[in-house]
Amino acid sequence: MNSVVLPRGRIALRALRADRVLLAGAVLLAGIAILDTPQLLPSILFTGAALLDIAPYLLAAVLIAALAKATGADALIAGAFSGKSSRAVMGAALVGALSPFCSCGVIPLIASMLRAGVPLAPVMAFWIASPLMSPEMFVLTAAGIGTGFAIAKTVITIVLGLLAGFTVIWIERTHGPIAVLPDEAAAASTCCKPRSACGGKPQVHWRFWQQAPRRAAFRAEALSNGTFLLRWLTLAFVLESLMVSYMPADLIATAVGGGTWFAIPLATLVGVPAYLNGYAAIPLVSGLLDLGMSPGAAMSFVTAGAVSSIPAAVAVWALVRRRVFVLYVALGLFGSALAGFAYQLSGAPV
């Protein structure tokens, strides 16, 4: 028995050492068990509940990305977003504002688009806009906070998407193209880039299950994206459980509840680690407004948290080059602060 178990244990240990994400998660849980044993079970339960809550959106995103890869629709999508830069950015911002994906659920779609050769400008516009608003989010925000706030957030979503996309266009025109994917991911990306030498119009094979190579591509893409997100989001949600535990809502209200000029930038910074998810944030923000939080600070809080929440930022860190990650975070934070000041100065009701 020992001769069988021992090699398996060694294999698991080697896998743990080779995978920095799993190793970090194991070290973190061990640290919780040693330093704050009562927190271990709540952190595990929080992580499990968060993964279960987001599972339908992640599953949908992973399957869509795998379907696009297996059918060849990824090249078609790349072509649709690779026309005139300004038009592609405007289309991506509008589509992002209507899409139902959260900041984590959109990651597989972003990875699929980047590997298909979609330019960074429309991808960044979609990336920034998508987590902020959806039809369901609009209804819940209007009911939980106010119709005026929901309408303003929708307008801000589109504006922030446009700001992100046109910022990337300006950077690439003044400093040259931006390398997005790590070398190994770029090498594994699809052959047919928009208007490439692959030749001809991209062919989409919707009945991909009829061809063994396409079935294999579907399985490989779904497994790759699924395991990637599961590993990184598990680690991220463990971190978030600690933030929720040690950063209670009354502490956030004390920090950003005033009407001083620095409440908006502070709400932007606090929104990233304190944010739970788009739906859980609605009652939290409603309560903070009742406690005296300014409308502008509330807008900054929800936009910063949705765009660059800790789980999403961790996944983005693993997906793209560091310069693109910094650009993504900077656009999210700057745009959120700008949105807060604009909403505050407009004097619009909540």
Q: Does 190 or 312 have the greater pLDDT score?
A: 312
In-domain check, residue 4? no
Of 203, 218, 236, 216, which is closest to residue 112 (Cα–Cα)? 218
Tokens describing residue 154: 């929708």
Q: Report DSSP letters for 183-200, one per residue.
A: HHHHHTS-S--TT-TT-S
Whether pTM > 0.75 for this model: the answer is: no
Decide: 297 and 340 in contact? Cβ < 8 Å.
yes
Q: What is the pLDDT of residues 103-138, one digit of tens each?
A: 666 777 787 778 777 888 888 898 888 888 877 778
90: domain range? 39-346
DSSP secondary structure letter of residue 105: T
Rounded Cα distance, 81 and 194, in Å: 9
pLDDT for position 167: 94
Instruction: Give the type of residue at 317.
Output: W
Q: How many domains does the chain have?
A: 1
Decide: 151 and 127 in contact? Cβ < 8 Å.
no
Q: What is the pLDDT of residues 231-270, one digit of tens each?
A: 777 877 787 778 777 766 666 666 665 556 677 888 887 7
pLDDT for position 96: 81
In-domain check, residue 285? yes
Of 282, 257, 255, which is closest to residue 270 (Cα–Cα)? 255
Q: Quick check: 172 pLDDT over 50?
A: yes
Q: How far is CA 295 from CA 152, 257, 288, 292, 299, in A?
A: 11, 10, 10, 9, 6
In-domain check, residue 27? no
Q: Quick check: 311 pLDDT over 90?
A: no
pLDDT for position 160: 92
pLDDT for position 1: 46
| Locus of tokens 């994400």 | 21
| Locus of tokens 């046109």 | 166
Three-state secondary-structure class, residue 176: coil
pLDDT band at 223 (very low <50, low <70, confident <90, very high): confident
3-class SS letters over 212-223: HHHHHHHHHHHH
| Locus of tokens 């650009």 | 327
Rounded Cα distance, 209 and 306, in Å: 36
In-domain check, residue 21? no
In-domain check, residue 57? yes
Query: What's the sign of the alpha-carbon dihedral 238, 279, 325, 220?
Result: positive
Q: What is the pLDDT of residues 155-164, one digit of tens each?
A: 999 999 999 9
Q: What is the pLDDT of residues 62-98, one digit of tens each?
A: 787 788 778 877 666 666 666 668 888 988 888 888 7
In-domain check, residue 192? yes
In-domain check, residue 12? no
